[in-house]
Structure 1
Amino acid sequence: MSSERHVLTYFKDGVEYYASSGRMVFNPEYHENHKKPWKVHDLIFLCSSYDAMKKRDIGLALGRTEMTIFEKAKSLRKNGQFEYFKNMGQEHKKNALDDAKRICSS
Protein backbone atom coordinates (compact mmCIF):
# COMPACT_ATOMS: atom_id res chain seq x y z
CA MET A 1 0.00 0.00 0.00
CA SER A 2 1.39 3.40 -0.99
CA SER A 3 1.70 6.21 1.54
CA GLU A 4 1.51 8.87 -1.17
CA ARG A 5 -0.81 11.72 -0.40
CA HIS A 6 -2.68 13.41 -3.21
CA VAL A 7 -3.35 17.09 -2.76
CA LEU A 8 -6.08 18.65 -4.85
CA THR A 9 -5.22 21.92 -6.55
CA TYR A 10 -6.80 24.19 -9.11
CA PHE A 11 -5.60 26.92 -11.45
CA LYS A 12 -6.95 30.43 -11.62
CA ASP A 13 -5.45 33.03 -13.96
CA GLY A 14 -2.47 30.73 -14.51
CA VAL A 15 -1.68 30.40 -10.79
CA GLU A 16 -2.03 27.13 -8.86
CA TYR A 17 -3.93 27.09 -5.55
CA TYR A 18 -4.68 24.41 -2.95
CA ALA A 19 -8.34 23.35 -3.19
CA SER A 20 -8.66 22.83 0.57
CA SER A 21 -7.45 26.27 1.70
CA GLY A 22 -7.42 28.48 -1.38
CA ARG A 23 -3.77 29.34 -0.69
CA MET A 24 -1.30 29.70 -3.53
CA VAL A 25 1.00 26.72 -4.10
CA PHE A 26 4.72 27.57 -3.82
CA ASN A 27 5.92 29.12 -7.04
CA PRO A 28 9.51 30.44 -7.34
CA GLU A 29 8.31 33.23 -9.64
CA TYR A 30 6.17 34.68 -6.85
CA HIS A 31 7.99 33.40 -3.76
CA GLU A 32 11.57 34.38 -4.58
CA ASN A 33 12.55 34.77 -0.91
CA HIS A 34 11.42 31.26 0.07
CA LYS A 35 13.80 29.79 2.68
CA LYS A 36 15.96 32.94 2.65
CA PRO A 37 16.77 34.77 5.90
CA TRP A 38 14.36 37.50 6.95
CA LYS A 39 15.55 41.11 6.76
CA VAL A 40 14.61 43.61 9.46
CA HIS A 41 12.63 45.79 7.04
CA ASP A 42 10.65 42.70 5.98
CA LEU A 43 9.78 41.94 9.61
CA ILE A 44 8.72 45.55 10.12
CA PHE A 45 6.50 45.38 7.04
CA LEU A 46 5.03 42.03 8.09
CA CYS A 47 4.13 43.13 11.60
CA SER A 48 2.94 46.64 10.78
CA SER A 49 0.76 45.40 7.89
CA TYR A 50 -0.51 42.17 9.45
CA ASP A 51 -3.85 43.53 10.69
CA ALA A 52 -4.55 45.79 7.71
CA MET A 53 -3.64 43.61 4.71
CA LYS A 54 -4.54 40.18 3.42
CA LYS A 55 -1.87 37.64 4.30
CA ARG A 56 -1.69 36.61 0.64
CA ASP A 57 -0.81 40.21 -0.31
CA ILE A 58 1.83 40.46 2.41
CA GLY A 59 3.32 37.20 1.18
CA LEU A 60 3.45 38.41 -2.41
CA ALA A 61 4.99 41.73 -1.35
CA LEU A 62 7.69 39.89 0.61
CA GLY A 63 8.20 37.05 -1.88
CA ARG A 64 7.03 34.40 0.59
CA THR A 65 4.13 31.98 0.83
CA GLU A 66 0.99 32.79 2.76
CA MET A 67 1.71 29.93 5.18
CA THR A 68 5.18 31.34 5.84
CA ILE A 69 3.57 34.69 6.72
CA PHE A 70 1.26 32.99 9.24
CA GLU A 71 4.10 30.94 10.72
CA LYS A 72 6.51 33.89 11.04
CA ALA A 73 3.89 36.07 12.73
CA LYS A 74 3.09 33.23 15.15
CA SER A 75 6.79 32.74 15.91
CA LEU A 76 7.35 36.47 16.49
CA ARG A 77 4.35 36.64 18.82
CA LYS A 78 5.55 33.60 20.75
CA ASN A 79 8.98 35.22 21.20
CA GLY A 80 7.48 38.60 22.15
CA GLN A 81 8.95 40.33 19.08
CA PHE A 82 5.81 40.96 17.01
CA GLU A 83 4.83 44.19 18.80
CA TYR A 84 8.44 45.41 18.71
CA PHE A 85 8.57 45.23 14.90
CA LYS A 86 5.01 46.54 14.60
CA ASN A 87 5.93 49.58 16.69
CA MET A 88 9.03 50.15 14.56
CA GLY A 89 6.75 50.35 11.53
CA GLN A 90 4.38 52.77 13.23
CA GLU A 91 7.31 54.98 14.31
CA HIS A 92 8.65 54.96 10.74
CA LYS A 93 5.23 56.02 9.37
CA LYS A 94 4.97 58.79 11.99
CA ASN A 95 8.43 60.11 11.11
CA ALA A 96 7.61 60.02 7.40
CA LEU A 97 4.39 61.99 8.00
CA ASP A 98 6.22 64.53 10.15
CA ASP A 99 8.86 64.94 7.41
CA ALA A 100 6.16 65.38 4.75
CA LYS A 101 4.34 68.01 6.83
CA ARG A 102 7.60 69.88 7.41
CA ILE A 103 8.46 69.82 3.71
CA CYS A 104 4.97 70.94 2.65
CA SER A 105 4.88 73.81 5.13
CA SER A 106 8.27 75.20 4.01
Structure 2
Amino acid sequence: MNYHPKFHFSHGKPFTERELEYICKFYEIDHVRTIAFAIGKTERAIHTKVQCLKRGNLYDYYKNRNKYW
Protein backbone atom coordinates (compact mmCIF):
# COMPACT_ATOMS: atom_id res chain seq x y z
CA MET A 1 0.00 0.00 0.00
CA ASN A 2 1.25 3.46 -0.85
CA TYR A 3 1.53 6.24 1.70
CA HIS A 4 -1.76 7.62 2.99
CA PRO A 5 -1.77 10.12 5.89
CA LYS A 6 -4.87 8.55 7.44
CA PHE A 7 -3.21 5.14 7.82
CA HIS A 8 0.47 6.07 8.12
CA PHE A 9 0.31 8.56 10.98
CA SER A 10 3.93 7.97 12.04
CA HIS A 11 5.39 8.39 8.57
CA GLY A 12 8.59 10.43 8.62
CA LYS A 13 9.06 10.11 12.37
CA PRO A 14 11.93 8.07 13.82
CA PHE A 15 11.20 4.56 15.04
CA THR A 16 10.77 4.26 18.80
CA GLU A 17 12.29 1.48 20.89
CA ARG A 18 8.78 0.13 21.41
CA GLU A 19 8.12 0.02 17.65
CA LEU A 20 11.44 -1.68 16.93
CA GLU A 21 10.70 -4.39 19.48
CA TYR A 22 7.19 -4.87 18.07
CA ILE A 23 8.49 -5.15 14.51
CA CYS A 24 11.21 -7.66 15.38
CA LYS A 25 8.89 -9.80 17.51
CA PHE A 26 6.11 -10.10 14.96
CA TYR A 27 7.93 -9.77 11.60
CA GLU A 28 8.28 -13.53 11.13
CA ILE A 29 4.84 -14.33 12.57
CA ASP A 30 2.46 -11.70 11.21
CA HIS A 31 1.95 -10.02 7.84
CA VAL A 32 3.98 -6.89 7.18
CA ARG A 33 0.80 -5.01 6.27
CA THR A 34 -0.66 -5.72 9.71
CA ILE A 35 2.52 -4.51 11.42
CA ALA A 36 2.56 -1.39 9.23
CA PHE A 37 -1.02 -0.51 10.18
CA ALA A 38 -0.32 -1.16 13.86
CA ILE A 39 2.56 1.31 14.10
CA GLY A 40 1.54 3.76 11.36
CA LYS A 41 4.43 3.23 8.95
CA THR A 42 4.48 2.00 5.36
CA GLU A 43 5.22 -1.62 4.50
CA ARG A 44 8.38 -0.53 2.70
CA ALA A 45 9.58 1.29 5.81
CA ILE A 46 9.10 -1.91 7.83
CA HIS A 47 11.04 -4.03 5.31
CA THR A 48 13.84 -1.47 5.11
CA LYS A 49 14.14 -1.17 8.90
CA VAL A 50 14.28 -4.96 9.34
CA GLN A 51 17.04 -5.20 6.73
CA CYS A 52 19.03 -2.47 8.52
CA LEU A 53 18.58 -4.15 11.90
CA LYS A 54 19.67 -7.52 10.52
CA ARG A 55 22.75 -5.97 8.90
CA GLY A 56 23.66 -4.28 12.17
CA ASN A 57 23.04 -7.46 14.21
CA LEU A 58 20.33 -5.71 16.24
CA TYR A 59 17.35 -7.73 14.99
CA ASP A 60 17.76 -10.52 17.55
CA TYR A 61 18.47 -7.99 20.30
CA TYR A 62 15.09 -6.29 19.82
CA LYS A 63 13.32 -9.59 19.16
CA ASN A 64 14.42 -11.04 22.52
CA ARG A 65 14.29 -7.82 24.52
CA ASN A 66 10.87 -8.39 26.20
CA LYS A 67 10.65 -4.89 27.62
CA TYR A 68 7.38 -3.85 25.97
CA TRP A 69 5.99 -6.99 24.28
- What is the TM-score of this pair, normalised by structure 1? 0.62
SS class of match (2:65): helix
Please name the residue that 2:52 is paired with: 75
Extract unaligned runs of 5+ from structure 1.
1-23, 94-106
1:18 is matched with: none
Larger radius of gyration: 1
1:64 is matched with 41
Task: Say how many residue pairs are matched.
Answer: 69
Higher relative contact order structure (alpha carbons within 8 Å, sequence separation ≥ 6): 2
Structure with higher strand content: 1
SS of the aligned residue for 1:88 comes to coil
- Post-superposition shift, 1:92? 5.7
> 2:3 maps to which residue?
26
What is the distance in 2 between the residues matched to 1:27 and 1:88?
Answer: 31
Structure 2: state its 5+ residue gaps. none
- Normalised by the length of structure 2, the TM-score is 0.93
Identity of counterpart residues, as a percentage?
Answer: 30
Q: Distance in 2 between matches of 1:82 and 1:33?
A: 21
